Structure 1
Amino acid sequence: MARSPRLELFALRRRSDAERFLDRSFFQLAVALAAAVGLLVVAILLTVLSGAWEAIRSFGISFITTSDWDPGSDHYGAFTAIYGTLVSSGLALLIAVPLGVGTAVFLTENIIPKAIREVLGVMVELLAAIPSVVLGLWAIVVMEPMLRPFLSELHQLLGWLPFFSTEPQGPGMAPAALILVVMILPIITAISRDALSQVPDGLRQAAYGIGTTRWGAIFQVILPAAISGITGGVMLALGRAMGETMAVTMIIGNSNNFSLSLLAPANTISSMLANQFGEASGIQVSALMYAALLLMVMSLAVNLLAQQVVRRLSLKY
C-alpha cells in the first residue's frame, strides 16, 4: 500500500541534534522521577519497619492475633484494630459500589436532560472537596442521632445475631462505615463515570440494533465493557477507606474491646495511630509502628490485587 506524501516526508525528515537531545532528556527525566517514586515507597517501608522491629521481636505473630492493648503492662495486640479496619472498609464498599456505579450510569446515560446531569455530577464530585474533619463533625452532630432509632430497631429485631447484639449508644462501627461511604462515593462515581463515557457509542447502537432494551444494553454490554475501569476505581476507593483517619476517629468510638457487633464502639489502625502516637513512649511507639506497617502492607496488597484484577478483566472483555 502506497504511503501518503505527508508520511513520506515525515519518514525522510532527519531530526535535529536539539530535538534528539530533548527526547533523551525527557526520557531520562521520566525514568528518574519513576525511580524516585519507587525509592520513596521503599524508604517509607524501611523507616516504618525499623521503628516496628522491637515490637516484631517482642510480640511476633501474636500481635496480629490478640486484642490486648495495655500500655500499663506493655502488652499489645492489634487484632481489634485490624478487624475494625477490614470490616468498616468492607461495609463501606458494599454500600458505596452499587450506589456509585448506579450514579455513574445515571449520569452517563440519556435518562434525564444533560444540564441536570452535569449539575448532579458536579455535586457528587464536590463531596470529595469536603474536609474529613467536617464530615466527622457532621457524622457526630447529624448522622448518628438520625441513625440511632433505626439502629435500635435493628437491634430489637436482629439482636439474637452477634452482629447486632449490642444496644447502640452512640459512636460505633456502623456509623463509621456510613461516613466512609460518603467519603469514597465520589471516587467510585467519578472513575466509573469516566470508564462508562469511554465505551464506544457503536456498542450501544449495536445492542439496540439487535433488539435489546436500554437496561439490557447497560447490564449486558456497557457495564462489561467498562468493568476494568470500574474495578480500578473500586480498589482505589478501598485503599482510601482503609487509610481514612480523622472522620473515622471521631465517630467509631475508639474502643480496643473486641466485639463482633456492628453497633458497638470499635477501632481501626488509622484511628488508633491518631489517638495514641502523640503520647506514646517506649515499646508502645514500636507497637504503633508495627500496626502502621500492617496497614501499609494491607494497602499495598490491595493495590497489587487491583492491578491483577484490572489486567484480567481487560483481557477478558
Structure 2
Amino acid sequence: MADMAVQSTGMEAAAGPYDRAKALSAFKLGDVAFYWTTRLCAISVLLILGGIIISLIAGAWPAIREFGFSFLFTQRWAPANDPPILGALGPIYGTLVTSVIAMVIAIPVGIGIAIFLTELCPQWARRPIGLAVELLAGIPSIIYGMWGFFVLGPFMANHLQPFLIRAFDGVPVLGSIFAGPPSYLSLFNAALILAIMVLPFITAISVDVFKTVPPVLKEAAYGIGCTTWEVVRKVVIPYTRVGVIGGIMLALGRALGETMAVTFIIGNAFRITGSVFSPGTTISAAIASEFAESDGLHQSGLILLGLLLFVLTFLVLSAARLMLMRLERKAGN
C-alpha cells in the first residue's frame, strides 16, 4: 500500500506541472474570449446607434435641403400642396405639452404609491397592489389607445371637460388653457393616457430605491419623534433622490416616444392652440398616421420628424444624466 501511495504521488508530481500549465492556459483563453465577447457587445450598441443616426439623416436629407431651419418654426403641414409645405412646430408643441402634463400628473401619484407601499401599506396588501402596478406596465399601448378612445374620451368630453371649462371661464391664463369646446380627441386626453402608461415606471423604480434606505436611519428619525411624513421628506427622499430622478427621466423618455395610444386619442391635428382640450398631434403620432401613405418629400419630412424626436430624447436623457452626476457629486462632497 505504501509503495502504491508513493507511486501515485510520484505520478501526480510528474503530471502536475503539465496539468497546471494547461489549466492556466485554458483560464487565460477563456478570460480573453470573455473580454472580447463583452467588448464586441458594447461596440455593437454603438454601431447600431450610429447606423440609426446615419439612416435617419440620409432619409431626412431631402427635407433638410428643401426646408432648412424653417421646418422647425413652420406650423402648417400640407403635403398635398405643390410644392409641399411641411412644418414641425405643431408636432413638437404637442409632444412637449402632452409629456409635461403627463409627468405633472404621474410624478406625484407614482411617488405617492411608492411611499404608501414601502411605508404605510399593510403587509397583506403590498403584493396585490404591487402586482396591479406591474400589470399596468404590461398592457400593450394599443389597448390603452382603444380604452382612451371608447371610454376615457367620451367620459372626459361629457363630464370633466365641461366642468373645467365652466370653473376656469374668465380666469386669466387658465381660462384660455382650459377653453372649450369639449372634445373626445384632445391633447389633455392623450396626456392622461400617457400619465397612466408611465406611472408603473416611476412607481416600480421608486419602490426599489426606497427599499435601499437603511432601516437604522428611519428608526433613528422615528426615535427622535419624527412623523411618517417627516421621515419620508427628510430621510427617504433625500437618500434616494438620484434613483427617483432616474426613474422619472426613464418615464419621460417613454412619454416622449409613445405612439399608438396617443395616435388613437390626440386627434392628429397639425395646429397649435392655447387650449389643452383641442386636438393636436405629436411627432410619433404624426409619423404613425401618415408614413404608410407617404412618398418623396413628404416621406422625407416624416423621417426628419423622427430625427427630431431622436435628438429631443437624446437631449432630455443627456440633461438627466448630467443632473444625476451633479447630485451624486454633491452627495459625495
TM-score (norm 1): 0.92
| Correspondence for 2:145 | 136
Which of the residues 87, 91, 106 maps onto 2:101?
91
d(CA) in 2 for partners of 1:22 and 1:210?
55
| Correspondence for 2:247 | 233
Residue 120 in structure 1 maps to residue 129 in structure 2: yes
| Correspondence for 2:327 | 313
Aligned to 1:226, the other structure's residue is in SS state: helix
Which of the residues 33, 37, 53 maps onto 1:29?
37
Residue 62 in structure 1 maps to residue 76 in structure 2: no
C-alpha contact (below 8 Å) 1:144/1:171 kept by paired residues: yes
Residue 199 in structure 1 maps to residue 213 in structure 2: yes
Deviation at 1:307, TM superposition (A): 1.2
| Correspondence for 2:190 | 176
C-alpha contact (below 8 Å) 1:159/1:166 kept by paired residues: no
Write the mapping of 1:104-119 to structure 2, written as runs, cut at 5 A.
Answer: 104-109=114-119, 111-119=120-128
Deviation at 1:129, TM superposition (A): 0.9
Deviation at 1:157, TM superposition (A): 2.6
Residue 295 in structure 1 maps to residue 309 in structure 2: yes
Deviation at 1:90, TM superposition (A): 0.6
Give the root-mean-square deviation of aligned CA atoms: 1.5
Q: Percent identity?
A: 42
d(CA) in 2 for partners of 1:18 and 1:108?
48
Q: Larger C-alpha radius of gyration, 1 or 2?
A: 2
Q: 1:135-172 deviations in whole A, cap 9, x for unaligned?
A: 11111111122222211121123244321223112110
d(CA) in 2 for partners of 1:280 and 1:162?
35
C-alpha contact (below 8 Å) 2:153/2:183 kept by paired residues: no
Residue 152 in structure 1 maps to residue 162 in structure 2: yes
Deviation at 1:21, TM superposition (A): 2.3
Unmatched tracts of structure 1, length 5 or more: 1-12
Unmatched tracts of structure 2, length 5 or more: 1-19
| Correspondence for 1:81 | 91
C-alpha contact (below 8 Å) 2:156/2:184 kept by paired residues: no
TM-score (norm 2): 0.88
